[in-house]
Amino acid sequence: MTQGDKRPERFTKGQRLTAAGLNSLTEAVESIMRRMAGQQIVQPLNLQVILGEDLLAAVDTLTDPSTAQANVLRRKTNGDLEITSRSITIVNRFENISVDAGTYAKAEWIEGEWQLYAADCPAMSASASVPAGGGGGSTPPAESL
């Protein structure tokens, strides 16, 4: 029996399996298992989506993420994107980031769930605002001067 055999020979009643036959069978099963495990490890492609509902911030990253439905976008032959009827559930584990319904975003498959890794949020959204007096320097504003 080889991996290429479509129909290996059948055992007859009373026939004993030799060590060589058992090793061959073991190798064939291991090969199939490796092939199947390899297929399961491959991640789905990243997707472009439009959020169908608000994606709220998580209450707790580890135990209480939020979820929202999003429609998958597909690229047409002319390069434009179109909204499909395929819907996925987006999981948000960020405690300080929320995204509004209707937002264009990108999702990736992480540990068995779709998570956003990019979103087209407004430039001065509450989550991206900088407090008065600046920020972003190497010293806190109180220590400036």
**Secondary structure (DSSP) of 86-101:** EEEEEEE--SS--B-T
Average pLDDT of the segment spanning 67-86: 96
* The CATH fold of domain 47-122: OB fold (Dihydrolipoamide Acetyltransferase, E2P) (2.40.50)
CA distance 76 to 101: 23
Residues 127 and 78: their CA atoms lie apart, in Å, by 35
Model confidence pTM above 0.85: no
pLDDT at 11: 75
At 44, is the pLDDT very low, low, confident or very high (cuts 50, 70, 90)?
Answer: low
At residue 58 the predicted structure's pLDDT band, cuts being 50, 70 and 90, is very high
Q: What is the pLDDT of residue 8?
A: 67
Range of lowest pLDDT (51-60, 107-116, 135-144): 135-144
Those residues whose C-beta lies under 8 Å from the C-beta of residue 96, and which sit 6 or more positions away, are 57, 127
- The pLDDT of residue 127 is 47
Instruction: Please determine, for residue 41, whether its predicted confidence score (pLDDT) is greater than 60.
Output: no
Over residues 114-143, the pLDDT tens digits come to 999 999 977 655 544 444 444 444 334 444
Burial of 122 (0-12, 13-18, 19+ CB in 10 A): exposed
Q: Specify the pLDDT at position 131.
A: 45
**Could you tell me the pLDDT band of residue 61, with boundaries at 50, 70 and 90?**
very high
